[in-house]
Amino acid sequence: MDDSFRWLAELFDDTFIMIADGEVKADYLPEEEPVAVVSEPEQSYENQEDDLIFSGNNASKTGIIVWYEDQEWIKPKDKIFLDNILSAVKSSVERSALFNIARSNHRHIRDIITKMPDNHFFVFGLPESYTSGMNSGQIEIIGRSKVIICPLSLTDLVMNKEEKQQLWQKMRQVYGL
């Protein structure tokens, strides 16, 4: 092969052959069709049970566990109220770990809380089956985590003055406010 075309062969990591009329061609024939076609099986998510819907910071020391069945993650009105709660403990929605367990494989909040030891958790409006064996409206200790369980959802809590006062009282105990 003429050395003037050697750079071309090295560039394409191929061997080229010089044809008599000066045309340069590769020494292999192009494939007519691919050797193997790889395709992923089509997945249907309609019947699959989703796991946790997570948002925020998983390195956070504050976790919030909620139950929203609709596609809306946290309603704007609820987010404002949650920000007020978290600002009292020097945190925010963005710096907290938020879990929506409405379509979760987990059947009890212990499953989630034990995976994130040394955190404080707020639990809002979960069905009783997720908190069975726990005192709703109380502070629970799971491993090394302190958990404030509020039986009301954030939406209902905004409207309930008595439950809000109980929540603030529990926050003072847990966070030393």
Determine, yes or no, domain membership for 19. yes
Per-residue confidence band for 6, with pLDDT thresholds at 50, 70 and 90:
low
16: pLDDT strictly greater than 70: no
Does 63 lie in the same domain as 24?
no
Does 123 lie in the same domain as 99?
yes
Determine, yes or no, domain membership for 136. yes
| Helices and strands: H and E segment counts in the chain | 5, 8
Determine, yes or no, domain membership for 45. no
pLDDT at 36: 56
Residues in the chain: 177
Average pLDDT over the chain reads 73
Please give the model's pTM, rounded to 2 decimal places: 0.64
58 or 140: whose pLDDT is higher? 140
- pLDDT 10s digits, 73-84: 777 888 888 898
- pLDDT 10s digits, 82-139: 898 888 888 888 888 888 888 777 778 888 788 776 688 888 888 888 888 887 777 8
Range of the domain at 126: 53-175
146: pLDDT strictly greater than 70: yes
Give CA–CA dist 16/96, Å, rounded: 60
Which helix (H) or strand (E) segment holds residue 62: the answer is strand 62-66
Determine, yes or no, domain membership for 44. no
Does 31 lie in the same domain as 57?
no
Phi first, then psi, for residue 24 (nearest 5°) are -105, 130
Total count of domains within the chain: 2
* Lowest-pLDDT choice from 34-43, 115-124, 156-165: 34-43
Q: Pairing state of beta strands 16-18 and 24-26?
A: antiparallel
Determine, yes or no, domain membership for 13. yes
Per-residue confidence band for 15, with pLDDT thresholds at 50, 70 and 90:
low
Determine, yes or no, domain membership for 47. no
| Residue 74: CATH number of its domain | 3.40.50
